[in-house]
Copies of this chain bind each other. A is one copy, B any other.
Amino acid sequence: MSELLSRATELDAADPLAATRSRFVLDDVTYLDGNSLGALPVGVAERMQDVVRRQWGELRIRSWEESGWWDAPERIGDRIAPLVGAAPGQVVVGDSTSVNVFKALVAAVRIAREGDGPVERDEILVDATTFPTDGYLAGSAARMTDCSLRPVRPEDVPAALGPRTAAVLLNHVDYRAGRLHDLPGLTAAVHAAGAVAVWDLCHSAGALPVDLDEHGVDLAVGCTYKYLNGGPGAPAFLYVRRDLQERFDTPLPGWNSHTDPFGMRPDYAPGEGAVRGRVGTPEMLSLLALDAALDVWEGVDVAAVRRKSLELTDFFLECVAAYVPEGSVECVTPLAHGERGSQVSLRCEGAGEVMRELIARGVVGDHRRPDILRFGFTPLYVTFSDAERAARVLAEILRG
């Protein structure tokens, strides 16, 4: 047994999060794509049977009240809140990340413009390295609020801010390189310029502490099907800081956000609190699968998740360095812990073909064109042995 393999076994034996792996349905695959679709938690299938057969099939319409369907978006939002450092009442679940980016950014521009002086704020800054959908929706938000849109690398945001900046949309962790951005510092810089900060937490929620309240983030959106394991296309979440909720002027004022939805009033009057972020009737089956999936977080400390995440990615990089032929891959994920999310991205010639072969040999990551291999590390179920195996199989493939 190689030294690294025995180290992996020791690290797994000493892992304080080792027990949470049994909360997932896993097999002998090394699954390093939880940053794209989290593994299935135990108990979700059973819950869905109850939701479909009893709540829908037997109670039918009565479930909106009796099964707690109506309040589920806020209730489940409050289950996610502690994972992103938010006090209750500020997170609501529903719609896709893309739709929530639009809501948040338009609302942010409207907040920024309140009480504006002679110069109207008419520019949105967007993370130039963003997952594309954020940029596309930011473009639409800009177009529909008469703003211009300027892509800026996160590190260049402080210099780009100015009196015309209305809102800034940033990714906490870059989807491609896995780079962790400075949420506290950038949020403070945005505020110093009188603008509103919107953070995309897709690649950080459930993987590392976010501390939204502590850092005074204005608005945030995030995905629940990656590190939160909510199921394919599980609904996204929206955070609106409590003191901004009354000023949250949504571009999608659906009836679910109305102060009296069953009053069927012709005029829109928004409800109070997180409910303002709702739009139409939530897709209950997907929403309730997420609810069941969140049970895996019981008793889990996000700080412990972060510690293991860094240990896993450190160990994976160590194994890659030891096993993989020199020069065959280049790590594009920052080595500094303060700049690393919970994935490792390796630049590699023929990455598409290499990933296909990895998958064929039981190591599942993904490929981002043209030349990036992505390996996501979900600390709740990925082991140090998985990390060692992934590097070892990668090396076998690259040695050909």
A contacts, CB < 8 Å to B: 25, 27, 31, 33, 36-37, 39-40, 44-45, 48-49, 52-53, 55-58, 60-64, 69, 95-99, 102, 106, 128, 131-133, 135-137, 139-140, 144-145, 151, 176, 225, 231-236, 250-256, 258, 262-266, 268, 279-287, 289, 359, 364, 366, 368-369
Contact = CB atoms under 8 A, between A and B. Distances in A.
A132 B265 contact: yes
**In the assembly, how many copies of this chain are there?**
2
Nearest to A60: B37
A262 B40 CA distance: 24
A232 B97 contact: no
B286 A136 contact: no
A63 B253 contact: no
13 contacts: A33-B60, A45-B49, A48-B49, A60-B364, A64-B232, A99-B254, A131-B255, A132-B266, A140-B253, A233-B283, A263-B369, A284-B286, A285-B289
Contact of A98 (B49, B55, B144, B279): B279
A95 B280 CA distance: 9
Contacts of A251: 102, 140, 144
Given A132-B265, A279-B96, A52 B36 contact: no
A366 B61 CA distance: 9
Contacts of A368: 264
